[in-house]
Structure 1
């Protein structure tokens, strides 16, 4: 009986240890929570009847690249905005047209993007970056007012697990359009 109790305790301990080593987060749930947080923080500054453009979430180390992670994260954020009743536009635009870098390294929405946003009557653009770190990734998502590049809401969060790591493979980084 004592041997059985020790064996049972050992199995429980091993199970607890394995659960602590890699915890796969539910990407859908966490990205939906992030989109909800952005909408809550933006509050009355967003109008459900005016469109929001959504850009692919880009690799912070190289703003001309993304990955399967960046693509699916943007899809999930956009989908959640639509589920919450906001108008989300699918627009294809080359990555180079998304930002203008200032002399101090600040990113601003490019004039071309502001003009495009104005032509579609877009009130805001959802932009973001991610930074991989082992089996986790840090995501920074922002809702930026299209006409003047003012950040109206921001949400920073972390995702971890084997699923996340498998979606971010530097050898498979994609040079893609920033819009879908």
Structure 2
């Protein structure tokens, strides 16, 4: 059976949420991986899912699990864990989407996506993949006021990257292709 990541991303939290604290953390990572550097969507979906799943788990645990001598304490613990879990989910989703780097290796190329706060950080991030000192001057193509494409050649590697302005941050999608 071939599962698509889209379906797994939105069904897996139904199972993961039942694992206290670890489940919400994994759910936040799952949403940040799916939405990559689009941290706004990641936060919104994480918040909506964590609220829905908290309500569902609270409803089931409070209404169907009866522990007579510590019932009210159990209800309080369930609600507390759901609140903490929701916070963990949203914070994990935000931090990994905004401060993470998402990379795919495809045959003779590498594709990566990350967020920077200014253009000075770009060479620092690209230096993780190539020696920037061997690169020629960038060839810049302006698409519109918030989007540009840049091409550079470094030794035997061609770097093509799109830079899109997102509020105060810049989203960079870079592709490193071996020219040999």
TM-score, normalised by the number of residues in structure 1: 0.37
Q: Which has the higher contact order (CA 8 A, sep 6+)?
A: 1
Normalising by structure 2, what TM-score? 0.37
